[in-house]
Amino acid sequence: MTGSTKFIRAMGIPRVGNHAVIKMICENAGPRGYIHFNLCPPLKDPLQCHSVETRDGLLRPSNPEHLEKIRGEHDLDSYDLVVFSYEDLFLDAHHALANRISEPYEDRIDYNLFITRSLPNWMASWLQQRLKKTKNNPDHAFNYDTNPFFVTEKALRVFRNWLAHMREVDAAITAGGTSMTGTARNVGAVYDSFYVDEAHRRQIVEQLGLDPRNLDLPEISTHGGGSSFSGVKVTDPTQLDVADRWSHFRDNAYFVHLMAILWTNDEVRDLCFRHFPDSSRILDTFLKTGETGELRQAV
């Protein structure tokens, strides 16, 4: 059966909707099913990943019995689709596709899938997730009312990862289409569009060389805490306003000011308008006409 299995490397950063996009793709794998190696370690054997998902359930490689089962029973060529997924791949030694990221399977990769999300919606999701964590585990320093400069430092640190990812996406994908990196075809998935446009979901599946079988939105996964806004309480994806998350913060002076700071960067604006034109026009108009407020010194 060698040669009939498609290998997809999915690349994103936290809070861009990696799991939802991958789950929908796996629903279109074909009769022999799929195996998804989640949160693979860059430059190492992907089978050392965080978790493995198949139609038969979830396995944890950290469990010796599970790892033995993965290596002993799961012949990768017995599946229609093999997915290696990565997050935080675009910094330091792992930067871009210059290295053989998926050793020893690098030469089996058929498609590089780049998952992206517009800047305001991604930042809103990240900030909401961080605020939820501090609510359960108080971090007195992470408080944008009393210590906005500390929060800004944290936000800018993760923003640099978003920017590095977008630079790689921009280099690999031209005008929303596909190009090639070595023998692998590059495909883009925009999470904002993914949730509101079935045509975009179909495009993703077809560009990955799969036959569209099920283009319904996937149920929100309980793995990883679910939605940053709803947690695992809401699993019906139609009940989420994924494409307009930033509106939850549009009256928040801190969030708006942070967006205004990032929007002064020409490169950021160019990338956003090229890859997320609709949300970029809305954000640009909002920042030009709205009150951005001013950051106060920490007390």
- 46 belongs to a structural domain: yes
pLDDT for position 298: 33
pLDDT for position 295: 41
- 71 belongs to a structural domain: yes
How many domains in the chain? 1
- 266 belongs to a structural domain: yes
- 270 belongs to a structural domain: yes
Domain that holds residue 117: 6-289
Considering only 100-104, 136-140, 236-240, 271-275, which range has the smallest mean pLDDT? Answer: 236-240
Please, what's the largest Cα pairwise distance for the chain?
Answer: 65
Mean pLDDT of 224-246: 57
- 213 belongs to a structural domain: yes
* Confidence band for 138, pLDDT divided at 50, 70 and 90: low
Considering only 50-59, 87-96, 120-129, 284-293, which range has the smallest mean pLDDT? Answer: 87-96
pLDDT for position 180: 81
Say if CB 237 and CB 217 are below 8 A apart.
Answer: yes
Mean pLDDT of 43-57: 86
pLDDT for position 10: 96
- 107 belongs to a structural domain: yes
Which DSSP string do the residues of 273-297 spell out, in sequence order? HHH-HHHHHHHHHHHHHS----PPP
* Confidence band for 136, pLDDT divided at 50, 70 and 90: low
pTM: 0.85
Which is more confident, 232 or 5? 5
- 1 belongs to a structural domain: no
- 299 belongs to a structural domain: no
Burial of 168 (0-12, 13-18, 19+ CB in 10 A): buried
* Confidence band for 297, pLDDT divided at 50, 70 and 90: very low
For residue 272, what is the domain's CATH number?
Answer: 3.40.50
CA separation, residue 47 to residues 9, 78, 144, 202 (Å): 13, 16, 40, 29
**Cα 257 from Cα 260, distance rounded (Å):** 5
Nearest of 120, 160, 159, 87 to residue 243 by alpha carbon: 120
pLDDT for position 282: 92
Whole-number average pLDDT of the chain: 83
